[in-house]
Chains A and B, each alone.
Chain A
Amino acid sequence: FTFRIRKIEALRGCEIPLDVDITHCIDGVLGGEDYNQNNINQWTASIVEQSLTHLVKLGKAYKYIVTCAVVQRSAYGFHTASSCFWDTTSDGTCTVRWENRTMNCIVNVFAIAIVL
């Protein structure tokens, strides 16, 4: 199987190159696995938690929201959209899409600045 990684947009405003870190997280958890209903809960939890730990290690003054959607690969369609009301100069978002033979994974990271 092959997995293709595409980034949608880099984190604007705070300019952190996150997509590489997050793809590593997803690879670590889902790489080589097939979709399995029993494990899916634990997989999403660990993807999200590992992404959060990476973000915290960057040491920036941000609040983070990480969402992860894992879909079984099928002939059926799936759409996602988001709209945000924030300060465009300091807040930003990053989205990573990952897929393998049996599933698709979409991870969204939203970072909101804390003014200290």
Chain B
Amino acid sequence: MGESGPKSLEAMMMSDIAKDRMAHSVKKRGSMSSLSGREFWQKELHRCTKNSMSTVSYMDEPSQRDDASRLTVQMENTYQLGPTKHFPVVIVNHILKDVLTKYLQEEQYEPELCRQMTKTISEVIKAQVKDLMIPRYKLIVIVHIGQLNSQNIFIGSRCLWDPKSDTFSSYVFRNSSLFALASVYAVYFE
């Protein structure tokens, strides 16, 4: 990794007084390092701090290691045109039905209970759909719970995606005092 050519190093020396952090001098030296770039500079940093002196050093030319450490990961091309395994809508429908019935069959509407319940149910559904292990799919699970008593509610959604690979699944559950709507959107990661 260190064979790409002379690297220029700028070092800032800090004074001994702990509070004073102004740079006193700047040195430039070219050196060929046989260690790989990153570890060498880090070692230098640690050593200097023990003696109440710190050096900050960086390399001018960006190396491949710098790119990999940034948050957004550069993916290689897979040359896949579409998903190998499509999202199983029917299975997910069953999951939604089972989870909603299990959690809400006997419940009455109560504000505190339903507030916790929406969060719990959405986490449970997400975990169960993740267990299906469909590769390269991102999931969004939305749960609405409301009190059922002759008021009107209308919920709609539109999506801008690739309909060949992305899909959604939803289920409505009703009992005597409440209703619940759960939807799962699955988006293929291109």
Q: Does B152 contact A (CB under 8 A)?
A: yes
State whether A112 and B146 are in contact (beta carbons under 8 Å apart), knowing that A65-B185, A68-B156 are contacts in the complex.
no
Q: Are B126 and A83 in contact (CB under 8 A)?
A: yes
Check A48/B147 contact, CB under 8 A, given A89-B72, A115-B190. no
Quote the shortest CB–CB distance from B183 to chain A (angstroms): 8
Closest A residue to B110 using CB positions:
A77
Q: Which residues of B contact A76 (CB under 8 A)?
A: 146-149, 151
Task: Knowing A63-B166, A64-B159, A67-B156, say if A80 contacts B144 (CB, 8 Å).
Answer: yes
Query: In this assembly, does B66 line the interface, its C-beta being within 8 Å of a C-beta of chain A?
Result: no
Cα A112 to Cα B109 in complex, Å, equals 34
* Residue in A closest to B121 when the chains form the complex, CB atoms: A81
CB distance from B164 to the nearest CB of A (A): 13
Q: Does A8 contact B (CB under 8 A)?
A: no
For window 44-78 of A, CB contacts with B under 8 Å fall at: 44-45, 48-49, 52, 55-56, 63-72, 74, 76-78
Q: Is B139 an interface residue (CB 8 A)?
A: yes
Contacts of B123 in A (CB 8 A): 83
CA distance A64 to B159 in the complex (A): 6
Known A-B contacts A35-B152, A85-B126, A87-B138; A79 and B157 likewise in contact (beta carbons under 8 Å): no
On chain A, the number of residues with a Cβ less than 8 Å from chain B's Cβ atoms is: 42
Q: How far is the CB of A44 from chain B (nearest CB, A)?
A: 4
Complex Cα–Cα for A70 and B121 (A) = 22
By a CB distance below 8 angstroms, the chain B residues around A85 are 126, 129-130, 138-140
Interface centre among B126, B141, B154, B187 (most CB of A within 10 A): B154
If the complex has contacts A74-B151, A84-B139, A85-B130, are A79 and B159 also in contact, measured as CB distance less than 8 A? no
Q: B39 to chain A: which residues have CB within 8 Å?
A: none
User: Does B81 count as interface, using CB distance less than 8 angstroms?
Assistant: no
Give the docked Cα–Cα distance between A71 and B119 (Å). Answer: 20
Contacts A44-B156, A63-B159, A112-B187 given: A78-B144 contact, CB under 8 Å?
Answer: yes
Structural contact, B152 and A64, CB atoms closer than 8 A = no
Neighbour of A69 across the interface among B118, B121, B139, B155, CB < 8 A: B155
A68 touches B155 (CB 8 A): yes
B residues at A contact (CB < 8 Å): 71-72, 75, 109, 111, 114-115, 117-119, 121-123, 125-126, 129-130, 138-149, 151-162, 166, 183, 185, 187, 189-190
- A-B CB proximity, top 8 nearest: A81-B118, A67-B157, A44-B156, A76-B147, A78-B146, A85-B139, A83-B122, A74-B151
